[in-house]
Chains A and B, each alone.
Chain A
Amino acid sequence: MNIEYMGLKEISGPLVVIDGVKDASFEEMVEITVGKNKRLGRIIQIEGELCVIQVFEGTRGISLENTHTRLLGKPLKMPLSMELLGRVLDGKGRPVDGLGEIYPEITRDINGEPINPVMREYPRNFIQTGISSIDGLATLIRGQKLPVFSDSGLPHNQLAVQIVRQAKIEDDDEAGFAIVFAAMGVKHDVAEYFRESFQTSGVLDRVVMFLNLANDPVVERIVTPRCALTAAEYLAYEKNMHVLVIMTDMTAYAEALREISSSKGEIPSRKGYPGYLYSDLASIYERAGMVKGCRGSITQIPILTMPNDDITHPVPDLTGYITEGQIVLDRSLSAKGIYPPINILPSLSRLMKDGIGKGYTREDHPEVANQLFASYAKVQEVKALASVIGEEELSETDRMYMNFGREFEEKFIAQDFSENRSITDTLDLGWKLLRLLPVSELDRLSPKTVEKYYTRSDSEGGDF
C-alpha cells in the first residue's frame, strides 16, 4: 500500500511540490528520504494530484531528483504519557535527551480541537507570583493566558523563571502541577538557562521541554507550540494537573509563519505577515483555560519580543487582542536599574477583576490597584510638565507626585530576583506609598476604604 513517489516537481524555500500523488489528505504527514536521512513534512495544500509540502527539517540538499517520498496516512500526532515529565524533546516532539522513545498511552493530533465555550470554566483562582507589580496590579489567574511583552536586552527570561519558582501553582488538592516549556528559535544558552533554573528550583522532573533552538529548522517552529500544548492538554484535562506553559519566543514563531506564507506566494497583510496570523495565534493561545469536570488547568505565559520596542507591531498587537492582558517590560525602567522593569500602565490582567478582592485576595485590592494606576498615570503627566518648567517650579502637590513616583518605582516595582512578597505585603506596601499623597488626591478610593486603611499608618510601622 505504501507508494513511494520519486523526485519532486518544485522546491521553493521550505516548501516542495510533488506531482501525481494519489489519495493524499489535507495536513497529512509525509516522510521524505534524501540519500540516507529521512525528513518529515506536512501537506499544506492539495490541487488535484499536486501536493505542496512543508519540510520541517528544511530543504537544504534536496534536488528535484534525489528524493523519494512516502505518505504516512495521518496528521502529525504527539505520543503522550506520564513519562513525558522530565523529558527533553525537539520541536516536533521527539526525544533528544538520549533516554529513548516515549511509550505512548495515547497519541493526539497536535492541532487539537477548539474548546466548546459552553464547557469552559471561567478562571477565578489567583496565583501568587510573589512579584508586587504582577500580584497587585496585573494579577495572574489560574487558566489565564498572560504574555510578557519584551525585547532583547530586557530580563524577560529572569522574570519567567522567577514566576515559575515562586508561583504557588500547587493547590491544596492533590492535582499536582507541571511545567511545559516550549522554546522557538531561542539561543542555546537561553534554553540552558531555563533548564538550569528548573533544576535549581527542584522542579526539573515536572518539566516537559520542547526545544527548537535558533539554529534548528525554521518550519519546525510552526508545530513546536502545538506539540507543547497537546502535551499540556493531556496533563491538564486527563491527568488533572495544573500546567504552566511558557512559550518563548512567539515573535520567532510568527516569523516562521511569515516565511512559509511568502514561500507559498500568499498575499501579505501588515509587515508581510499572512492575513491569517490572528487566527493562527488564536489557535495557540486559546488552548489555555479550565474546563468543566476537570480539576486541571492550563496557564500560559508566552514571551514575545517587540521588534524595536514597538507595541503596535503585528505580533504583540494581535497577541494583545487574544490574550487576557499583558505584562509589558520597559527599557527606560530597566536602564534605571529597576528589576523587574514592568511598565504597569500598559500592563493589564483582564481576569483580575473576578479573581481579587474579598474572598480571593483582600477586600481593598481592587481599589488600591485602581488608585495606584491612576496616581502613577498622574505622575507621568507631572514628569512631562517638570521636564518643561523644571521640578522646582512645580506646585506642592505635583512635587508630592514626583516623590510618589520615585518611591513607587524603587520600592514597589523593584524587587530582588529572589524576593517573594506575599499579597498582604504587596497591598500594605501599596498603602504606604499612597500615604505619600494627600487624601484629597485619592479619588478612586471609597470613603470606607480610606477610613479603614489610609489612616492606619501610625499603627503600621510608619511611612517611608
Chain B
Amino acid sequence: MERASQGIIYGINGPVVKVRGKQAFQMLEMVLVGHDRLIGEVIRVLEDETIVQVYENTTGLKPGEPVVSTGKPLTVKLGPGIMGNIFDGIERPLTRIADNTGIFIKRGSIMDNLDREKLWEVKILVRPGDHVKQGDIIAEVKETESVNHKIMVPPNVEGEVIETADDGLYNIDQVIVKVKEGRDIYNLTLVQEWPVREPRPYCHRLPLNIPLITGQRVIDILFPMAKGGAAAIPGGFGTGKTLTQHQLAKWANADIIVYVGCGERGNEITEVLEDFPKLIDPRSGRPLMERTVLIGNTSNMPVAAREASIYTGITIAEYYRDMGYDVAIMADSTSRWAEALREISGRLEEMPAEEGFPAYLPSRLSEFYERAGRVENFNGTTGSVSIIGAVSPQGGDFSEPVTQNTKRFIRCFWALDKALAYTRHYPAINWINSYSEYSDQLEGWYRENASPEFMDRKTEISRILQEEGKLLDIVKLIGSDILPEEQKLVLEIAKVIRQGFLQQNAYHEQDTYVPIQKQYLMMDSILRAHAGASRLVALGIPVSVIRKSGVFEELIKMKYNISNDDPDAFEKLNSKTESILNEIESDYRASGRVNEV
C-alpha cells in the first residue's frame, strides 16, 4: 500500500472532489479520500487532475488532505453471510455499523463487508487431482435454512486441485481448496471479489419461456413476467410502487430476492426488515428473510453510494444466479438512481441532455437492464436474474426521460395509475397502458401448467376490458341507461373483473398471494357467468334482473370466500351461478316474456 499512487485534494464541491498531485489513478478505481479515509471512486482522469466521487458526506474535508489509491475498482465481497442481511449502497453491513455507531451512520465507518469471525459448516465437494475451471462448485455452505450457498471457483481461475481442507467449520478467510495452474497456485476461500460495474460471465443465454409467478392476478394473467426478464413499474407518488415491489419480493417464485431500496424512504426498509422475518415463504415454509438480501441506501444517505447501490445489488444477484438459482432483483427506485447520475454529472459541469440528465443516461440504463437474463452457467446449472425496476416519473408524467428510456430496455411495463389509486383500486396497474412482451413466449408454459384454454380465456378478459374502456367514454357523455342491454352486460362483467379479479388485497391473508390454478379458475368462473348471462340477455331479459339476483356479487366476493387450497369450491360456485341464471330464464319463459331467437 505504501507504493500506491497518492494525490492531494484540490477542490471540493458536494460529493465531487478534485485531486491533484502524482497522477497514476486508474479510471473507476476505488480510492480513500482524506484523513478519515472516505471511500471514493475515480470518475474522470485529466492530464493534471483526477475527479473522484465520494460515497460519504464530505463536510469538513480540506484541500491538501491525501487521496490514496487502492489499485482496484469498486468491488463487492461475495460469500456466505449475504443472505438475510442488510447492506448500504457499497455493501457495508448496516447492522454492524449500528452496533458500532448507534442510531446514526457516522462517516468513515470502514468495516468488513462480511462477518469474518463467523464459522460456517463447509462441505468440500472436490478432491485433489480434480480439474476445476471457473464457476465449478467446490464446496457447499448452508447459509440459511432456505439457501444452500455454493462456493464456486472464481472467474478466470482454472487448474488442478492440489489440496483440500476437510469438511468442517471455517471462517470466510480460511483456505479450503488450493488450485495449481502452471506455476501459479490459487488459494480459494469461501469468498471472492467482483467489480460491481462489470457483469459476471456465464456460458450462454437461454430463451425466456418460464414465467416468474407472482401470485398477483393482474400480473400473472394479463401481463406476465418471465424468469430472466426485465420489467418496469412506473407511477406517480401514492400509486403504490413500493407496495407492489414489496408484494413481488414477498411472493414471486424466485429462489433469491435482492431488494434494493435506492434513494427511497428509511421506513420502507424498516418495514421490510420487520415484516420479512415474520412472513413465511409459501413454497419452502421458511421465513422470507432467509432468502432475501436488502441493499438500503435511503434518500438521506450519500448520493454517490446511491448511484452504486444498483450495481452492488445486481452483482450479488448475478453471483447467486451463477450457483443455479432464480434470482429476482427489485430496484426501488431507478429514478432516484438516475437523479444521482444527474447530480454528479451536474457537479462535473457536463453538458446535459434532456431535463438536466446526462447524455449517457440511456446507455447506463441499458447496461443495467441487460444484466437480466436466464443463462446456462459455466458449471452446467441454469439460473436467472429478473429485474423489476420502479420508476418515479416527475409529476406522474410518463413522457419524462427516465420512463421513456427505461421503456426501451424492458419488455414488461406495469403502468400504475393515479385514478385507480384514488379509488383505492390496488394494485393500481392500468390494464390499458400496461403491456408484457413475454406473453407469447410464455404461452407454452401456461397451456401446460394452467390450462390448455388459458390463452383464449385471457384474451377474452382483455377484450371485455378493452370494450369497457370504449363504452365508458360513451357513458361519460350520455349515461349508462341508454346503452343496449348487451353493452350494459359488458359493463357489468367488466366491473366484476375489475373488482373481483384485478383488485387484490395485499393485507388479506388469502388474497395477498393466489396460486396460478385459483387465478385461472376465478377467470373461468367469471367468463362462464358472462356466457350464461349473455344467453339470457339475448332472450330479452334485462341486465338489471340478472344483477338483482346477486350472481355478480357472489363472483366479486369469491376471492375472499373461496380459500386458496379449495379448487373444488369453484365447481359449486359455477353450478350455483348456473342454477340462478336458469331459474331467471325459466321464470321468464313461464310468463312468456322471452324473445325467441
Contact = CB atoms under 8 A, between A and B. Distances in A.
Given A24-B62, A267-B346, A385-B475, A321 B237 contact: yes
A25 B397 CA distance: 41
A26 B61 contact: yes
The secondary structure that dominates the B interface is mixed
Interface string B3-26: 000000011111000100000000
Contacts of A377: 422-424
A155 interface: no
A425 interface: no
Nearest to A52: B13
A113 B396 CA distance: 31
A408 interface: no
B553 interface: yes
Nearest to B342: A275
B238 A267 contact: no
Contacts of B356: 267-270, 275
B90 to A, nearest CB: 14
The secondary structure that dominates the A interface is mixed
Contacts of B238: 320, 325-326, 346, 348, 350
B557 interface: yes
A378 B479 CA distance: 13
A389 B13 contact: no
A289 B299 CA distance: 14
A217 interface: no
Interface string A295-337: 0000000000000000011100110111011100000000000
A311 to B, nearest CB: 8
Nearest to A381: B476
Nearest to A21: B63
B29 to A, nearest CB: 22
Contacts of B424: 370, 373-374, 377, 444
Contacts of A26: 12, 58-62
Contacts of B103: 115-116, 119, 237, 291-294
A116 B60 contact: no
A388 interface: yes
Among B63, B261, B296, B345, the one with the most A-chain Cβ atoms within 10 Å of its Cβ is B63
Interface residues of B, number: 81
Contact of B298 (A114, A293, A324, A345): A114
Given A113-B106, A388-B477, A393-B479, A312 B11 contact: no
Interface in A257-272: 266-270
Contacts of B355: 269-270
Contacts of B346: 266-267, 274-276
Contacts of A116: 94, 97-98, 101-105
Contacts of A270: 355-356, 394
A114 B269 CA distance: 14
A259 B107 CA distance: 29
Given A321-B392, A373-B424, A443-B499, A279 B270 contact: no
B339 A113 contact: no
Interface in A433-456: 440, 443-444, 446-447
A359 B467 CA distance: 44
B313 to A, nearest CB: 15
A370 B507 CA distance: 13
Contacts of A111: 57, 59
Interface in A392-438: 393-395, 398
Interface in B345-360: 345-346, 349, 352, 355-357
Nearest to A74: B60
Given A45-B11, A320-B237, A279 B303 contact: yes
A23 B300 contact: no
Nearest to A311: B395
A291 B98 CA distance: 12
A161 interface: no
A112 interface: yes
A249 interface: no
B477 A117 contact: no
A351 interface: yes
A75 B59 contact: yes
A353 interface: yes
Nearest to B396: A312
A282 interface: yes
Contacts of B11: 45-48
B399 interface: no
A294 B357 CA distance: 41
B104 A114 contact: yes
B12 A46 contact: yes
Nearest to B500: A443
A293 B99 CA distance: 13
A322 B59 contact: no
B18 A47 contact: yes
B61 A385 contact: no
B432 interface: no
Interface in A19-69: 23-28, 45-49
Contact of A279 (B106, B343, B396, B418): B343
B422 A373 contact: yes
Contact of A312 (B104, B336, B397): B397
A120 to B, nearest CB: 4
Among A120, A237, A393, A446, the one with the most B-chain Cβ atoms within 10 Å of its Cβ is A120
B62 A23 contact: yes
B17 to A, nearest CB: 9
B467 to A, nearest CB: 18
Contacts of A83: none
Given A28-B60, A275-B343, A395 B270 contact: no
A99 B423 CA distance: 53
A151 B560 CA distance: 43
B556 interface: yes
Contacts of A121: 270
B271 interface: yes
Nearest to A371: B424
Nearest to A112: B104
B64 A278 contact: no
A130 interface: no
B94 to A, nearest CB: 5
A385 B18 contact: no
Contacts of B303: 276, 279
B342 A286 contact: no
Contact of A117 (B18, B94, B101): B94
A411 B202 CA distance: 65
Among B13, B299, B560, the one with the most A-chain Cβ atoms within 10 Å of its Cβ is B299
Among A116, A292, A444, A446, the one with the most B-chain Cβ atoms within 10 Å of its Cβ is A116
Contacts of B434: none
B590 interface: no
A113 B265 contact: no
Interface string B344-382: 011001001001110000000000000000000000000
A389 B394 CA distance: 36
B476 A388 contact: yes
Contacts of B266: 114-115, 117, 120, 286, 289
Among B105, B273, B480, B557, the one with the most A-chain Cβ atoms within 10 Å of its Cβ is B105
Contacts of A274: 346
9 contacts: A25-B59, A75-B60, A115-B300, A116-B102, A120-B269, A120-B270, A276-B14, A317-B396, A322-B265
Given A26-B60, A46-B12, A117-B94, 15 more contacts: A23-B62, A111-B57, A114-B300, A115-B103, A120-B266, A122-B270, A267-B352, A276-B343, A278-B263, A278-B299, A351-B267, A373-B423, A377-B423, A398-B479, A440-B553
> Sorted from nearest, which 9 A-B pairs have the closest CB atoms?
A312-B395, A282-B299, A269-B356, A113-B104, A320-B237, A286-B300, A377-B423, A117-B269, A47-B11
Interface of B: 10-14, 18, 57-64, 86, 94-95, 97-98, 101-107, 236-238, 261, 263, 265-267, 269-271, 273-274, 296, 298-301, 303, 336, 339-340, 342-343, 345-346, 349, 352, 355-357, 392, 394-397, 418, 422-425, 475-481, 499, 507, 547, 553, 556-557, 560
